[in-house]
Structure 1
Amino acid sequence: MHQGFQVSSRSTPEQYGHTPLGKQLRRRKSIEAMANDAANNAGLGSLKRSLGVTQLVMISVGATLGTGILVILGSAVPVAGPAIWIAFVLAGITALLSAVSYAEMAGMVPVSGSSYSYSYATLGEGMAWICGWCLVLEYAVSAAAVAVGAGAYVNQTLEIFGLALPQALAAGPGDGGIINLSALIVVILATLLLVRGARESALANTAMVIVKIAILIFFVVVAFTAFNAGNFAPLLPMGAAGVTGAASMVFFSYIGFDAASTAGEEAKNPQKDLPRAIMIAMVLVTTIYVLVAVAAIGAREWDWFANSEAALVQIVSEITGQKWMVLAFALASVIAIVSVVLTTLYGQTRILLSMGRDGLIPRFFAKVSPKTHTPVIGTYVTGGAVAIAASLIPLGQLAEATSIGTLFAFSLVGVSVMYLRKTQPDTPRTFRVPLYPATPILGIAACLFLMFNLAGITWVVFGIWMAVGAGIYLGFGRRNSRLGALDAKAYEAELNL
């Protein structure tokens, strides 16, 4: 018997050479087999354990903090009204319910695949592929969406000096331009930094996260100098439905808290540090989001946000009237966006590494450079694809499509926790979901609720995305899965007994 895979005494060659689709979709990869694969990366070069808990926290914060506040606030406030802060709380609670499940799974399965690997160990190859395909939507597409938002802040900065990018270079074809040059440059810079090494990327990200926290605190202080409590009345002009709809939209701003879980093979002490990093990041991000949302509404009436793509920098400009402050804030906002792009691209390349190692996508995604200890080829391919998407596709379509894939992946993590609690109750856990089983059940229900609050067109896009993924799996992944190859070897070994 091959470690991690079971072979019955009644096995036949057909089971391994031509495994029925239903059986193949249900095949699971054991946690032990994942750990063994991670140790040698299937002979494709190894990652280096160089990240401590602080750097892991900064990866999650870097991938999360700033996205919704800096980019999406202008489109979410008109949906929820002054209750936008409640929408952030609801989205934060939903993310927290998933975060505790991530924390438990990250401690048990400390590999680079995040929820893709968790699903492979519990729900089988089929659901693992679906989850991995959703994570491509989460990480790569969210990196592109955030990079698109950088253009608005670059233009806001240039306007201080009476300048502006030509429309042809300020937006993609869907927004009346030809190419979003700012977004393209941001993604290229992040890609080049990632190639240099995980430790170098983490250090750069830590510096950028400190900058983004500082500018958001600065915004809160400035906004509260013009605070008007009357801006919160009426609190629910769009009703409760507006709040839940906005919560589904701003959930995009919590995407990335799970980024630390993709560093399972580069963390110095993954079993202890990954759960801690995820929980610390969630509490920090939610607190700052709610503070900024309250401060923004207090400074401006909610209908003011309808015509603002870079709302925070405009508020700073109108309140202070100081060009140097606006310039500093706008430049720092761009740095904050670069941090999000950097860390989400990092997470994406590590998930693709795990999928490539398993044979479900081309194996060059899993090849690690012996010099930099990074998946260089996979990083360049991923960065190139994200750069093209960021420079040509509008933000709104990207953001909403990302949310639905992320919510689905998060729900699978809750299912994975419940599966392992039932099948491996005595396995040591460095973090345990509190109030089990209520917490993962509520987390799954909250994710499904927010999914069903998204627009119909988002479901159509998601359906098309899943259909494309199914085609790739059936055409490539099913035939090249290493799990299937290992099954075949196990069968041959059994015949020789």
Structure 2
Amino acid sequence: MIFGRIKPLDQILAAAEQKSLHRTLGWFQLTLFGIGCVIGAGIFVLTAAGAQKAGPGLILAFAVAGAICVVAALCYAEIAAMVPVAGSAYTYTYTVMGEFLAWTVGWALVLEYAVAASAVAVSWSGYFTGTILEQYLGIDLPPFLKTAPLALGGSEGGFINLPAVVISLIVTGLLMVGTSESARVNAVLVTIKLVALTAFIALTIPASQSAHFSPFLPAGVFGGLGSGVGVVGAAATMFFAYVGFDAVSTAAEETKNPQRNVPIGLIASLLICTVFYMLVAAGAVGAIGGQPIMGANGVPLTTGSVELARQCAMPAYADALVCSNEALAHVLREIGFGAVGNMLGTAAFIALPSVILVLLFGQTRIFFVMSRDGLLPDALSRVHHKWKTPHVVTAITGGAVAFAAAFLPVGQLVDIANAGTLYAFMMVAIAVMLLRRRDPHRKRSFRTPALWFVGPATVIGCIFLFVNLPYEAMLVLPIWGAIGLVIYYAYGYRKSHLGRGVVEVVTLEEDTPELP
């Protein structure tokens, strides 16, 4: 029985009890932590893609995505505080629903982290070529070296996004050799991003024109299932801008009075980030306009499509928000703040590689834990004798990330990454509800309030956003899952440690590679 292979929760919790963390965090510290985790690559990456999907309705799309994140985070907090071990949603599923479903979650997380890293690399490429090369150095890289072929098509000259490949390989190399990235450096980068976005809001909101918001919903609220357009279609994409909010949930074990402070920290940080995002969207659209480019059928052209790229190459749309590869810097240049725009582009150029590093690290950790469970070959969990990093899986991951960044546009990459994320969060919510019913008396340092509502709302919200992704992105997840099942039955099912009667529990501190 596949579904009978469930990791014993008692053994996992016994191992977790060996590490006693001091409860020092209050709601204010949690809120600041959440803001730092959430505000990252998404807002730099997705403004143009979101405007193409929803026009000024992008402002509402951030609110829809943020609301679903709140209920998902509350579910995540209960099980993260209860089972504080390595593996995240993969391990939670293993302890509640069994090995088969845990494999599907882990496999989806592999897709999420790797594709998200590719998306950020593509975004970094846009700021690098637009700000560093063109604005500062006066170098105009040929289109065939800076644009994915699926974004432009052969007739438009796109061949490979070379800068995205280069940054992906550089970050992979840093992860392999273990070059240190301290919390202090990361804090500086978060500060740079916050200052840059605050400056953007302060300069663009006063320059906004009411005419730029009409029509406010050019693609409507619901663009249709699988269309990926309209407010809800944009929200499914904007979900990427909130990735990282679950880090607040995992801090529940170190929080004073977690039943009170965790919900406050989660909701306050997500509300602040949502307002921040809505103001950035309002400033961008209001300052230069953000209407989508429509196809002959009156529906916005698909982001990353050949036709959209062809339209953007025309003089009429050359300066449009939806056609920019470095949207926020572009907006500031268009309203006469070129120097500030270049500074914002530089901030993105500096800060985004750290996001790629964290995403690549998260992917390798999932691979590592699955390998430790015997579901993947032991070679993937092999740690280099000198560098003390899982060099094999890091190299494989980095190569896959570089390949995707080379040949796919950012909008398509983000939608694919979100498909895996939404599936994982849905499974976490189901795990919380099942565990509450099966083992209601188990000690929980944090209990999700109104789980009867929050749990189903998370499941429905995740499914709702998933079915509003473009059809192509929705199809990737089952295809990827089918590939994963072949690997599982060909290798993991037979080699599984749990299936062979071996239960190995890995806590967050034990034998798991540290973030270098």
> Above 0.5 in TM-score?
yes
Q: Which of 271, 285, 291 lines up with 1:297 in the alignment?
A: 285
- Alignment deviations for residues 406-431 of structure 1 (CA, whole Å, 9 cap, x no partner): 11111111101101111221222222
Q: What residue in structure 1 maps to residue 270 of structure 2?
A: 282
Q: How does 1:428-439 map to 2 (within 5 A)?
A: 428-439=443-454
Q: Does 1:350 align with 2:326?
A: no
Q: How far apart are the structure 1 equivalents of 2:16 and 2:370?
A: 12
> Which structure 1 residue ranges, 5 or more long, are not aligned?
1-22, 41-46, 490-497
**Alpha-carbon distance, 1:196 to partner:** 6.1
Q: What residue in structure 2 maps to residue 185 of structure 1?
A: 166
**Alpha-carbon distance, 1:61 to partner:** 5.5
Q: 1:132 to 1:409 in 2, by over 3 A?
A: same
**Alpha-carbon distance, 1:97 to partner:** 1.2
Aligned 8 A contact 1:61 1:209 in 2: no
Q: What residue in structure 2 maps to residue 166 of structure 1?
A: 142
Q: 1:407 to 1:307 in 2, by over 3 A?
A: same
Q: Which of 426, 437, 449 lines up with 1:411 in the alignment?
A: 426
Q: 1:280 to 1:36 in 2, by over 3 A?
A: farther
Q: What residue in structure 2 maps to residue 9 of structure 1?
A: none
Q: How far apart are the structure 2 equivalents of 1:366 and 1:72?
A: 34
> Which structure 2 residue ranges, 5 or more long, are not aligned?
152-156, 223-229, 292-319, 505-516
Q: What residue in structure 1 maps to residue 497 of structure 2?
A: 482
Aligned residue identity for 1:31:
L
Q: How far apart are the structure 2 equivalents of 1:372 and 1:261?
A: 31
Aligned 8 A contact 1:107 1:275 in 2: no
Structure having the larger proportion of residues in helix: 1
Q: How far apart are the structure 2 equivalents of 1:384 and 1:282?
A: 33
Q: What residue in structure 2 maps to residue 307 of structure 1?
A: 323
**Alpha-carbon distance, 1:156 to partner:** 1.1
Q: What residue in structure 2 maps to residue 251 of structure 1?
A: 239
Aligned residue identity for 2:147:
A
Aligned 8 A contact 1:259 1:347 in 2: no
Q: How far apart are the structure 1 equivalents of 2:67 and 2:493?
A: 37
Q: Which of 120, 125, 129 lines up with 2:94 in the alignment?
A: 120
Aligned residue identity for 2:279:
L
Aligned residue identity for 1:132:
G
Aligned 8 A contact 1:89 1:286 in 2: yes
Aligned residue identity for 1:460:
L
**Alpha-carbon distance, 1:474 to partner:** 0.8
Aligned residue identity for 1:78:
Q
Aligned residue identity for 1:298:
G
**Alpha-carbon distance, 1:147 to partner:** 0.7
RMSD: 3.5
Aligned 8 A contact 1:103 1:279 in 2: no
Q: 1:159 to 1:216 in 2, by over 3 A?
A: same
Bigger drift between 303-312 and 60-69 goes to 60-69
Aligned 8 A contact 1:184 1:390 in 2: yes
Q: How does 1:363-378 map to 2 (within 5 A)?
A: 363-368=378-383, 374-378=389-393
Aligned 8 A contact 2:331 2:341 in 1: no
Aligned 8 A contact 1:169 1:179 in 2: yes
Q: How does 1:465-476 map to 2 (within 5 A)?
A: 465-476=480-491
Q: How far apart are the structure 2 equivalents of 1:203 and 1:478?
A: 43
Q: How does 1:44-443 map to 2 (within 5 A)?
A: 64-157=38-131, 158-161=133-136, 162-175=138-151, 176-195=157-176, 200-241=181-222, 242-259=230-247, 282-303=270-291, 304-322=320-338, 324-368=339-383, 374-443=389-458
Aligned 8 A contact 2:81 2:250 in 1: no
Q: How far apart are the structure 2 equivalents of 1:36 and 1:484?
A: 21
Aligned 8 A contact 1:112 1:261 in 2: no
Aligned 8 A contact 2:7 2:95 in 1: yes
Q: What residue in structure 2 maps to residue 19 of structure 1?
A: none
| TM-score, structure 2 normalization | 0.79
Aligned residue identity for 2:360:
L
Aligned 8 A contact 2:288 2:334 in 1: no
Q: What residue in structure 2 maps to residue 32 of structure 1?
A: 10
Aligned 8 A contact 1:63 1:344 in 2: no
Aligned 8 A contact 1:106 1:275 in 2: no
Partner of 2:498, secondary structure, is helix
- Alignment deviations for residues 403-460 of structure 1 (CA, whole Å, 9 cap, x no partner): 1121111111110110111122122222221222101111110111111112222222
Q: 1:339 to 1:372 in 2, by over 3 A?
A: same
Aligned 8 A contact 2:326 2:345 in 1: no
Q: How far apart are the structure 1 equivalents of 2:340 and 2:172?
A: 30
- Alignment deviations for residues 198-230 of structure 1 (CA, whole Å, 9 cap, x no partner): 973544322221211111111111112312234
**Alpha-carbon distance, 1:238 to partner:** 2.1
**Alpha-carbon distance, 1:104 to partner:** 1.2
Aligned 8 A contact 1:103 1:278 in 2: no
Q: How far apart are the structure 2 equivalents of 1:257 and 1:79?
A: 24
- Alignment deviations for residues 26-78 of structure 1 (CA, whole Å, 9 cap, x no partner): 421123333567899xxxxxx9x99x979998886666424332122212213
Aligned length: 457
| TM-score, structure 1 normalization | 0.82
Q: 1:470 to 1:63 in 2, by over 3 A?
A: farther
